[in-house]
Structure 1
Amino acid sequence: MAIDLDKLSRDELVKLISDAEKALKTLEARRKAEAKRAAEKAAQEYGFSLDDVVSGGSAKGGKGPKGAPKYAHPENPSQTWTGRGRQPNWVKTALESGKTLEDLKI
């Protein structure tokens, strides 16, 4: 596609530039969508979703996601615990008073 730019008027050159910029944006959007599909396919081959891979913790000891809460304070449900790590004081107190972890399950 050879265009003799010397023979185009100013308005034609401005339109050509505008059309070329639109074409570049469309091409970039299409390539980005293709890259996303390829990344999703690659993540699925390892048993993950793309969101799992992108939002997951780092492989070098970084903190991962907290996890869903499994236990809640009986009197204040806004206080929760995932069941991992150290037991919160409210869990210790409940266990000392005769409750079980099963009683605190959400």
Structure 2
Amino acid sequence: MKPDLKSMTRKELEKLKTNVEKALVKLAEKEKKAARAAAEKAAASHGFSLAELTGDTAPKAVRKRKAGPKTASVPKYQNPANADQTWTGKGRQPDWFKAAIKSGTSPDAMEI
């Protein structure tokens, strides 16, 4: 029943290849089902389910926690001329901070 590959055209060979690949996929699925059935039978004979032995349980949905509200950063610098003006040291420097540095005040002197 061997086909004569040398006498076949390219088109015929490609069709044969496609048919062989399909048959191999079907055979593999059939063998997997048979193996699974045999494994389930063996597990059942010992009083277990296959899922218990392999740990194949449906994964639990993992819920992502919502991020809580952001807390305000603690001020790090204070304007020596106006104690109500503070800066955390993050982001752009406020104008009062730039002016104080320009006038000769060191950042260390403005730390809270």
TM-score, normalization: structure 1?
0.51
What's 1:10 paired with? 10
What's 1:20 paired with? 20
TM-score, normalization: structure 2?
0.49
% identity of equivalent residues = 45
Name the CA distance, whole Å, in 1 between partners of 2:24 and 2:53. 29
Q: Secondary structure at the match of 2:40?
A: helix
The amino acid of 2:48's aligned partner reads F
The amino acid of 1:15's aligned partner reads K
Name the CA distance, whole Å, in 1 between partners of 2:23 and 2:9. 21
Name the CA distance, whole Å, in 1 between partners of 2:11 and 2:46. 53
Unaligned runs of 5+ in 2: 57-112
Unaligned runs of 5+ in 1: 57-106
**Equivalences for 1:1-106 in 2 at 5 Å?**
1-55=1-55
Q: Find runs of 4+ consecutive structure 1 residues off by over 3 angstroms.
A: none
Q: Secondary structure at the match of 2:22?
A: helix
| Aligned residues between the structures | 56
Name the CA distance, whole Å, in 2 between partners of 1:38 and 1:53. 14
- Superposed CA RMSD in Å reads 1.2
Name the CA distance, whole Å, in 2 between partners of 1:2 and 1:15. 15
